[in-house]
Amino acid sequence: MTVDVVESPQLMERTSVWDLVRRMWRSPSGVVGLVIVGSLLLISVLALLGLTPHPPIQADSTSRFLPPGPDHWFGTDQFGRDVTSRVMQGVLVSMRVAIVAVAISAFVGSIAGITAGFFGGWPDRIIGRITDTLFAFPAILLALTIVAVLGRGWVNTVIAIAIVYTPIFVRVARGPVLSVRELDYVKSGRVLGYSPPRLLFRHVLPNVSAPIIVQIALALSWAILTESSLSFLGLGTQPPEPSLGLMVSEARTLFARGWWLMVAPASAIVLAVVGLNLLGDGLRDVLDPTDSHRR
């Protein structure tokens, strides 16, 4: 499957980001994905700039458990804090963890995968063995153990998620490299005496980037899932900083007092995961012509 990706003439040309967005606009799942992810990014930026309707961690005992209304769109929680503002801040926290973690794992994983695929031999065997070992753990179990070792907090959550998802990028990057390295232009590059880094980054990487890009969108959605799951268990982002997972966890016992306490953060998580999945589907439609028969 991936062989066709690298051989398709479309991809041999240089495509700009703008071009990509324009083509995504024609795939229905791509459009919805772009809109959802775009809005979440906007919300994150607003939260980052402190432009939430109310301060997210300011308690107010006079306005506890207010139902959704014009002043508090998603009501207030057990300490009188504005749920809308807390969810916005929570989206920022989740996005921050997901983006940093996926950036690390995509970077490390792709380099390891390309190296393994390009050179073969013992680097391939060692990297393959490590990857297999990490794959033998169910993801959440591994993340949980790592967080338990490193301690709580968002930086350690990032490290845990990065370690868990690196092997996926190793596999995704390694596969296509195996076929690309046999192509004529790479061989001629070798004959011309290009250095291995130049061959890898100028000649091989651009032609195996499509599956990696698709994988980044999917990995971001898993990272948000994992981050909120760890926060739910009390191991991720620590209070009083708002986190979507912890908000859902607390809302379990308060559901009778305020359904909005669960609905608001839960919808934010679901939207983020669904949006990133759709974005991944859309990217695959655009970047991988061989997959188009699936839909």
Partner 1 sequence: MKRYLLRRSVGALLTLLGVALLVFLLLRVLPGDEITARYGIESGALTPDQRAALERYYGLDDPLVAQFFNWLGSVLSGNFGVSVTSGRPVSHLIANALPVTIELAVLSTLIGSVLGVAIGVMAASRPHGLRDTVGQSFGLLGLGVPNFVLASAIIAVLSVRFGYFPSAAQYVDLWDDPVVNLQQHLYPAITLGVSLAATTMRTTRSAYLEVSSQDFVRTAQGKGVPPRRVRWRHILHNASIPIVTIVGIQFGYLLGGTIIVEEIFALPGMGRLVLTGLAQREFAVVQSSVLVVAAMFVMVNFAVDLIYARLDPRVRLS
Instruction: Point out which residues bind partner 1 (CB under 8 A).
Output: 129-130, 132-134, 136-141, 144-146, 148-149, 221, 225, 228-229, 232-233, 245, 248-249, 251-253, 255-256, 259, 262, 266, 269-271, 273-274, 277-278, 293-294
Please name the amino acid found at residue 243: S
| Residue among 104 and 144 whose Cβ is closer to partner 1 | 144
d(CA 223, CA 115): 25
Task: Return phi, psi of residue 82, to 5°.
Answer: -75, 120
Residue with tokens 């790592």: 146
Distance of closest approach, residue 285 Cβ to partner 1, in angstroms: 14
Tokens of 121: 């031999």
Minimum CB distance to partner 1, residue 132 (Å): 5
- Phi, psi (5° rounding) for residue 26? -90, -15
Residue 133 CB, shortest distance to partner 1, in Å, is 3
Of 191 and 256, nearer to partner 1 (C-beta) is: 256
Enclosing H/E stretch for 281: helix 260-287
Of residues 248 and 283, the one with the C-beta less far from partner 1: 248
Phi, psi of 116, rounded to the nearest 5 degrees: -60, -45
Per the CB < 8 A criterion, the answer to whether 209 and 248 are in contact is: no
Which is nearer to partner 1, 178 or 263 (by Cβ)?
A: 263
Half-sphere exposure for 120 (CA within 13 Å, toward CB): 5
Q: What is the number of residues in the chain?
A: 295
Whole-number minimum distance, CB 225 to partner 1, in Å? 5
For residues 277 and 218, is the Cβ–Cβ distance under 8 A?
yes
Give the residue with the Cβ less far from partner 1, 56 or 245.
Answer: 245
Q: How far is the CB of 126 from partner 1 (least distance, A)?
A: 11
Q: How far is the CB of 268 from partner 1 (least distance, A)?
A: 10
Please state, in angstroms and rounded to a whole number, the distance separating the CA atoms of residues 157 and 238. Answer: 11
Cα–Cα dist 170/152, whole Å: 27
> Considering the complex, what minimum distance in angstroms separates the CB of residue 42 from partner 1?
20
Kind and range of the H or E run holding 29:
helix 28-48
Nearer to partner 1 (CB atom), residue 200 or residue 281: 281
Q: Which is nearer to partner 1, 203 or 284 (CB)?
A: 284
